[in-house]
Amino acid sequence: MASINIRRDVDDKFYRYKMPVLLTKIEGKGNGIKTVVPNMSDIARALARPPSYPTKFFGIELGAQVKLEEKSDRYIVSGAHDAARLRDLLDVFIDKFVLCGACKNPETVYNITKTDDVFRDCKACGARSAVDLRHKLTTYIIKNPPPVEKKIKGLKTGADSSIAANAEAINGKSSPAEPEDGADGQANAEVDESEIPDVADRPDDDDDWAVDVSPEAVKAREKALSAQLKNSLILGGQEGEGDGDDDDDADSPYGQLKAWIGESREEGLDEKKVMAKVKELGIEKKHKAVLVISEALFTEEVVKEIPTYSNLLKAMVTSEKHQKALLGGLERLVGLTYPSLIPAVPKILMAYYQEDILEEDVAKNWGTHVSKKYTDKETSKKVRKAAGAFLTWLDEADESDSE
């Protein structure tokens, strides 16, 4: 994943504090349109803050509702907001609620006092700086403080803590605090020795570090590594194998392409810009790149837009697999993004056909085989049913040719 300096005003490439580039994904339409930040958890982890804090900050600053789906790791802001706007707001959040007020270092932790004051304690310089108590996010932080590491009661730090942790793991609960006893001041915690493995039975720690260097073991490791490299490099894979939802992963090149198209739409897109981005990501020959483009590039004016991007599509759609991906993107476009386009499916297919992007045999095969590869089965069936007029036209054209 691409990373940037936490302080974007610092140009030093050796600046040690990094975070992922904020990505956005627009979902829904009309009153239900929303902006999802797919990598919010990664950004929050880099800032040492709960992901709910920056998400809530976005909502406050934009006057929008937010939805925190922590179990599914989805952080949503209602409305359509481009990534550039949210990145600027993230800079404000970092300045107000992360950076030390003295040294501007992001190594800070919150200290919430009994009087409901929130301070940033800097681990780097030791300074303490207050956050803006007038900001609504401060109220949210006080009501939803960051998680605190659990401490084991009745035990000191150091060796006693590790002993207690082991005892807690064995007994399934914390050891109660006991009064100190004897000159050494150690706690008189009672531990059932029968549950502790004998020293002779414990695995030797050195075994964890030992590496089998026999020829057989080396060959086995090389084979495993080769398989991993193959899976990571062959992004397209075979149809039906390794063909999951990598295009929906924000960190993948396909996720980056989809996000870039959404962000660049307002500035204006053309074939050269899109192809340059595809080449930059190294996926110009991948059929999944065609899937993303046919799903994300077009709007409700897709019939008029296909001729505009015909040269781009001709350059990228070079095999039957690419054509199937093109049709998969069509299923997502009309079945999920713009359901109102379903009646226009024959016109869209005709536009692809007339631009020599879609072949007759591929279209017929697609039209007669319902699949849940790109959408759910019901949506797939609905789109193919709508394509009936175009498929009938192809059949009639074949009959007239044979006559």
Q: In whole angstroms, how large is the CA radius of gyration of the chain? A: 29
Read off the pLDDT band of 197 (50, 70, 90): very low
Question: Mapping DSSP to helix (H, G, I), strand (E, B) and coil, where does residue 126 land?
Answer: coil
> In this structure, which long-range contacts are made by residues 309-317, counting pairs with CB atoms below 8 Å and at least 24 apart in sequence?
309/271, 309/274, 310/355, 310/357, 311/271, 312/271, 312/274, 312/275, 313/352, 313/355, 313/357, 314/355, 314/356, 314/357, 315/275, 315/284, 316/278, 316/284, 316/285, 316/289, 316/290, 317/290, 317/357
Q: Taking CA 256 as the corner, what is the angle to CA 83 and CA 260, rounded to the nearest 5 degrees?
A: 50
pLDDT tens for 248-289 read 566 788 888 888 888 887 778 888 889 998 898 899 899 999
Q: Domain boundary at 119, 143, 167, which?
A: 143
How many structural domains comprise the chain?
2
Are 134 and 252 part of one and the same domain? no
Residue 38 belongs to a domain: yes
Q: What does the pLDDT read at residue 169?
A: 41
Residue 152 belongs to a domain: no
Are 132 and 12 part of one and the same domain? yes
pLDDT at 162 over 50: no
CA–CA separation, 286 and 131 (whole Å):
48
pLDDT at 319 over 50: yes
CATH code for the domain of 114: 3.30.30.170
Read off the pLDDT band of 181 (50, 70, 90): very low
pLDDT at 185 over 70: no
CA–CA separation, 125 and 119 (whole Å):
14
CATH code for the domain of 324: 1.25.40.180
Are 134 and 253 part of one and the same domain? no
Task: Name every residue whose Cβ is closer than 8 Å to that of residue 326 and which is 6 or more positions away in sequence.
Answer: 290, 291, 294, 313, 317, 352, 357, 358
Are 7 and 120 part of one and the same domain? yes
Q: What does the pLDDT read at residue 96?
A: 94
Residues 356, 363: contact at Cβ < 8 Å?
Answer: no
Question: Mapping DSSP to helix (H, G, I), strand (E, B) and coil, where does residue 367 land?
Answer: helix
pLDDT over 70, % of the chain? 73
Residues 357, 305: contact at Cβ < 8 Å?
Answer: no
Q: What does the pLDDT read at residue 149?
A: 56
Are 377 and 256 part of one and the same domain? yes
pLDDT at 33 over 90: yes
Are 267 and 396 part of one and the same domain? yes
CA–CA separation, 168 and 67 (whole Å):
37
Q: Taking CA 100 as the corner, what is the angle to CA 96 and CA 104, rounded to the nearest 5 degrees?
A: 95
Q: What does the pLDDT read at residue 192?
A: 43
Cα–Cα distances in Å, from 333 out to 153, 246, 254, 299, 306? 57, 17, 16, 8, 13
Are 262 and 387 part of one and the same domain? yes
Are 398 and 262 part of one and the same domain? yes
Q: Domain boundary at 143, 162, 197, which?
A: 143
Read off the pLDDT band of 37 (50, 70, 90): very high
> In this structure, which long-range contacts are made by residues 75-78, counting pairs with CB atoms below 8 Å and at least 24 apart in sequence?
75/36, 75/37, 75/40, 75/41, 75/51, 76/34, 76/35, 76/36, 76/37, 77/34, 77/35, 77/37, 78/33, 78/34, 78/35
pLDDT at 358 over 90: yes
Residue 305 belongs to a domain: yes
Mean pLDDT of 68-94: 93
Please state which of the ranges 54-63, 212-221, 268-277 shows the lowest mean pLDDT: 212-221
pLDDT at 243 over 70: no
Residue 92 belongs to a domain: yes
Read off the pLDDT band of 213 (50, 70, 90): low
Q: What does the pLDDT read at residue 39?
A: 94
Mean pLDDT (the chain, rounded)? 79
Dihedral sign from CA coordinates of 364, 370, 376, 381: positive
Tokens representing 305 are: 């837009």
CA–CA separation, 118 and 242 (whole Å):
48
pLDDT tens for 102-134 read 999 999 999 999 888 899 999 989 999 999 889
Read off the pLDDT band of 173 (50, 70, 90): very low
Can you give the residue range of the structural domain that contains 56?
A: 3-143
Are 137 and 251 part of one and the same domain? no
Question: Mapping DSSP to helix (H, G, I), strand (E, B) and coil, where does residue 88 land?
Answer: helix
Cα–Cα distances in Å, from 242 out to 3, 237, 246, 247? 27, 6, 9, 12
pTM for the full model? 0.42
The DSSP code for 195 is G
Are 260 and 114 part of one and the same domain? no
The DSSP code for 35 is E
CA–CA separation, 87 and 81 (whole Å):
10
Q: What does the pLDDT read at residue 191?
A: 41
Residue 258 belongs to a domain: yes
Are 258 and 385 part of one and the same domain? yes
Tokens representing 242 are: 């390794």
Q: Domain boundary at 143, 174, 192, which?
A: 143
Residue 149 belongs to a domain: no
Read off the pLDDT band of 394 (50, 70, 90): confident
Residue 302 belongs to a domain: yes
Residue 286 belongs to a domain: yes
pLDDT over 90, % of the chain? 46
What is the number of residues in the chain? 403
